[in-house]
Amino acid sequence: MSSSDSVSAAVSMRFDAAPGALSGTVEVPGDKSISHRALMLSALAVGRSRVEGLLEGEDVLATAAAMRAMGARIEREADGIWHIDGVGVGGLLQPQTALDMGNSGTSTRLLMGLLASHDLTATFVGDASLSKRPMGRVIDPLSQMGAEFTASPGGRLPLTMRGTVPAVPITYRLPVASAQVKSAILLAGLNTPGITRVIEPIPTRDHSERMLTGFGAHINISNNADDERVIEVEGEVELRSMNIKVPGDPSSAAFLLVAALIVPNSIITVRNVTMNPTRAGLVTLLENMGGKIIRKNPRFLGGESGEIVYDLQVMHSVLTAIEPDPAAVPSMVDEFPVAFVAAALAQGRSVFRGLHELRVKESDRITVMADGLRSIGARVEEIEDGLVIDGTGGEALEGGATIATHLDHRIAMSFAVAGLASRKGVTIDDMRPVATSFPGFVDLLRALGAGV
C-alpha cells in the first residue's frame, strides 16, 4: 500500500455505541509474530513443514513472498493449511528482484538477520510508513557479524545489504529491549560457525527461542551474574521440519477485550489466545485495572517449548486508573494504543511512561493517540515518554471526530473501539491498514453486536 493509494482509495468507517451489548464467542487470527517465524524457519528446515492457523494478513504474506523469492516452496491449500518445503540452513538463493516488505517492520528486520550470514545481496523496499522507520538498531549488530549495508538517510528503506559467509559470531548486549533485534541476531547465528550470543537486560517476547528449539536448533538460555537473560545459538546446525499450529494473536485479541470491558453489559469469549508470559502484559494490566477477565482451558501447542493458550472470557467492568511499570513495556508494546483507550474510560489518572519505542512504530503512536483522544473528548497530556490520561469514570466519551490513521493499523482499531463507547461515534478515515495484521476485524466486531 502506497501513501498515494491510501489517499485515493481510503475506506472510511464509522463506529458507534450500539443499542445492545457485545456478546458472543469468537477467535482472532493467528499470532503475527509466530506466523513470521514459522515461515522463515520452515524455509530453512530440511523437509516439508505444515502450518495451521497462519495469519493471512499483508505483513505475513510479505514474508511468504520473500521466502519464495529466495528458493523456498510455499503453498496454501484450500483448507487454509500451509506447506513449506525448506532449502536448509545456508541454502537461500539470490533474490532476482527487490524484496517488497509492504508495511512490515518485523519482516524487514528478521529477514535482514536471516540473510546476514548468506552469500547474497538483497534490496528491501516498503510502503511510505515502513520507509520512515529506522533500521539502525539491526544494522549495527549485523554489521559486526560481517554484513554490509547501504541504507537511505537515517538507516531507512530502501536499503541494500550483502551478507557474508562465514559470518562472525558475536556477543551482543541489547541497548534497547527489542525482540526483533534479538531475533535478527539469532537468525543470523544459524548459519554462523560457533556460538552467537544475545544478552537482554529486560526479557522480550521469546517466540524465536521457543520455535528454534522446536525446529531442532541448539539453544541455551541462562542468566548471568547481573541477572540478565543470555540466549545462545550454535551455528551450522540442521533444522528439522515440523508441524505448527499458530495460536490466536493477543495483540489482536486486545481490541476485543477492551471493547467488552468498556461497553456496558458486554460479555464475550475470545478463544485460543496465546498467553505466553512475554506477551500477556495487556491482560495483566487490564486485570490490575479491575477488568473481569477469566482465563479458561489452558493448554500447550507444540509441547513444553511451544505456546500456552487460553480461552479468555471478559465482561464489562468498572476500570480504575493504572501506572504500569516501564519494565512491562516489552510484554505489551503493541497493545498500548488500546490500553490508552481503556484508561480514557477508567476512574482516576493513569500515567504511562517508558514508551519511547512507540514513537518509531508505524506512526508516532504517542502523539497520534494523544491528538485523537483529545479530539473525541478525552483529557490527555503528552509527555516525552508517554501519556497522562484522566479517565471519565466510565462515562461515554463525546466522540464526533474523524481520526487519521497515519497508515497505522493499531491506531485505526484503537479508535474503532473508542467509538463503541462514545456518544457521537468515531469515524476512521482509512480502515485499509487493518489488513496488515487483523483481516476480518470489522466482521468480528459486527458479529459481537458492535455498531459499525
- 299-305 long-range contacts (CB < 8 A, ≥24 apart) are 301/245, 301/247, 301/274, 302/210, 302/214, 302/244, 302/245, 303/214, 305/210, 305/213, 305/214
Residue 227 in any domain: the answer is yes
Identify the pLDDT of residue 1: 36
Residue 239 in any domain: the answer is yes
C-alpha cell at 437: 495484521
Residues 163, 62 share a domain: yes
Identify the pLDDT of residue 53: 96
Helices (H) and strands (E) in the chain, counts: 13, 22
Residues 286, 191 share a domain: no
Residues 237, 364 share a domain: no
Rounded Cα–Cα distance for residues 118 and 108 (Å)? 16
Annotation says 334 is catalytic: yes
36 and 82 Cβ atoms separated by less than 8 Å:
no
Identify the pLDDT of residue 75: 98
Residues 26, 37 share a domain: no
Query: Of 211, 245, 279, which residue constitutes the final position of a domain?
Result: 245
Cα separation of the two ends of the chain: 24
231 and 218 Cβ atoms separated by less than 8 Å:
no
pTM for the model stands at 0.92
Q: In degrees rounded to 5, what are phi and psi of residue 51?
A: -125, 125
Residues 415, 359 share a domain: yes
Residues 226, 105 share a domain: yes
Identify the pLDDT of residue 302: 76
The crossing angle, in degrees rounded to 10, of helices 32-44 and 179-189 is 10
Distance of CA 98 to CAs 39, 61, 167, 199, 377, Å?
19, 15, 23, 32, 45
Low-confidence ranges of the chain (pLDDT < 70): 1-9, 303-305
345 contact partners, CB below 8 Å, separation of at least 6:
262, 319, 391, 392, 394, 395, 397, 421
Identify the pLDDT of residue 64: 98
Q: In degrees rounded to 5, what are phi and psi of residue 402?
A: -105, 125
Binding site residues, as ranges?
32-33, 37, 105, 133, 178, 180, 334, 361, 365, 410
Rounded Cα–Cα distance for residues 451 and 17 (Å)? 6
Binding site residues for 3-phosphoshikimate, as ranges?
32-33, 37, 178, 180, 334, 361
Q: How many CB atoms lie within 10 A of CB 318?
A: 14
Residues 165, 77 share a domain: yes
Residue 140 in any domain: the answer is yes
Identify the pLDDT of residue 304: 63
Residues 260, 240 share a domain: no
Identify the pLDDT of residue 286: 98
Residues 269, 232 share a domain: no
Identify the pLDDT of residue 186: 98
| HEC secondary structure over 140-151 | HHHHHCCCEEEE
User: Which structural domain range is residue 269 located in?
Assistant: 3-30+247-447
Query: Of 219, 245, 271, which residue constitutes the final position of a domain?
Result: 245
Number of folded domains that form the chain: 2
Query: Of 189, 211, 245, which residue constitutes the final position of a domain?
Result: 245
The catalytic residue among 127, 249, 334, 430 is: 334
275 contact partners, CB below 8 Å, separation of at least 6:
250, 283, 295, 298, 308, 309, 310
Residues 336, 421 share a domain: yes
409 and 363 Cβ atoms separated by less than 8 Å:
no
- The CATH number that applies at residue 303 is 3.65.10.10
C-alpha cell at 32: 503475527
Identify the pLDDT of residue 20: 83
Rounded Cα–Cα distance for residues 250 and 34 (Å)? 11
Strand partners, 148: 162
Residue 452 in any domain: the answer is no
Rounded Cα–Cα distance for residues 407 and 5 (Å)? 11
